[in-house]
Amino acid sequence: MCCSNLDEERGSQKGNLIPVDLESIKGMKFFDPHVHMTSRTTDDYQAMFDAGVVALIEPAFWLGQPRTGIDSFRDYYSSLIGWERFRSSQFGIKHYCTIGLNSREANNEKLAEQVMEVLPLFIMKEGVVGIGEIGFDDQTPAEEKYYRLQLELAKETELPVQIHTPHRDKKRGTRRSMDIALEHGISPDTVIIDHNNEETVKEVLDRGFWAAFTIYPFTKMGNERMVEIVKQYGTERIMINSAADWGISDPLAVPKTAALMKARGISAENIEQVTYRNAITAFGKSGQINEEDFVAAQNIDQSEKFEGNTVLRGGQQPRIDKSSIIIS
């Protein structure tokens, strides 16, 4: 990384340190509708639970380098509905996912064709709340082809669509994503346009889509900016997420943003809309989300047992104390 103005920006970040104090939001529940848990550790799950995250959605994406065979896709989808879902339950967090062929890997057409064959098997599985994250990355013809095909699949199966908007040429890419969705006759209130910023939000909201914002250091939205967006546009159809992945990102972005919003005078009801309620309403159109299933939201006594088995049937993990050098 060589650009000097970026270094300057990063340097200035250090001047804005406000210590993390999640006491102000204790008791609030959070829903993170976009987080890549396969690339996160159990420390993150534990921290998310402690901060009040009760449920999340993990979108299907690439793994940092392109897959070369259909089995990799199949095994990955399988892990989203299998092992990762179980792993999450052990920390008291309900795990949902969206499944789809992401924009990057749509460019490998031979493989993309095979993925399209396999998708129908997975998208109707329990806990799959949408087709995602799909859309444009470089905005190539191949990306467009598979975006359109998956929109048709969404229509057929009546599942919400989670759209990844490009990071380069974002404004036009976002507009194009919306144009094409409407062209296919998809109702915008079943489509979540993700990774929005100040330049895209108005049009997304005006055209009736859900607007998701990713609170992610350096490259995406910041939470102080998010506070301003909510103050300007209100909370209707707005939701935030962390999109925490293997890069420098923060799985506590949602609770931290809630805390910041509270400190900056946004009401508790409005905070709840953008950090919990709206995501559930949008993705809940899949029929797969039931708040009663959010284990952590129920105040279950960890020591309570039923016929000798712990009530928390997921088999919750015992806690470790990370502040001690003792490991045992």
Q: How far is the CB of 320 from other proteins (least distance, A)?
A: 16
C-alpha Rg value of the chain to the nearest Å: 20
Binding residue for other proteins (CB under 8 A) from 12, 65, 68, 309? 309
Of 82, 208, 234, 247, the one binding other proteins by CB under 8 A: 82
Contact 93, 49 (CB under 8 A): yes
Tokens of 319: 């806690």
- The correct pick among 126, 269, 304, 321 for binding other proteins (CB under 8 A) is 126
Is 121 a binding residue for other proteins by CB under 8 A? The answer is yes
Question: Rounded to the nearest whole angstrom, what is the least distance from the CB of residue 200 to other proteins in the complex?
Answer: 34
User: Based on CB atoms, which residue is closest to other proteins, 123 or 252?
Assistant: 123
Q: Which residues contact 51 (CB under 8 A, 6 or more apart)?
A: 22, 25, 30, 252, 255, 256
Spatial distance between the Cα atoms of 203 and 226, rounded to a whole number of angstroms = 17
Burial category of 58 from C-beta neighbours within 10 Å (exposed 0-12, middle 13-18, buried 19 and up): buried
Longest dimension (CA), the chain: 63
Q: Tell whether residue 86 is a contact of other proteins (CB under 8 A).
A: yes
| Separation of alpha carbons 48 and 94, rounded Å | 12
Q: Is 74 in the site for other proteins (CB under 8 A)?
A: yes
- Asked if residue 94 binds other proteins (CB under 8 A), the reply is no
Q: Contacting other proteins (CB under 8 A), which of 43, 83, 218, 248?
A: 83
Contact flag: residue 69 with other proteins (CB under 8 A)? no
Let me know: does 47 contact 70? Beta carbons within 8 Å. Answer: no
**Spatial distance between the Cα atoms of 302 and 312, rounded to a whole number of angstroms:** 8
Of the residues 64, 66, 69, 315, which one makes contact with other proteins according to CB under 8 A: 315
CA distance 35 to 245: 7
Residues 127-166: x where in contact with other proteins by CB under 8 A, - otherwise, as a string: x---------------------------------------
Taking CB under 8 A as the criterion, the residue among 38, 39, 72, 78 binding other proteins is 78
* Residue 81 touching other proteins (CB under 8 A): yes
User: Binding to other proteins (CB under 8 A): which residues in 11-50?
Assistant: none
* Three-state secondary structure call for residue 68: coil
- Contact positions toward other proteins, by CB under 8 A? 74, 77-78, 81-83, 85-86, 90, 121-122, 124-127, 287-288, 308-309, 313-315
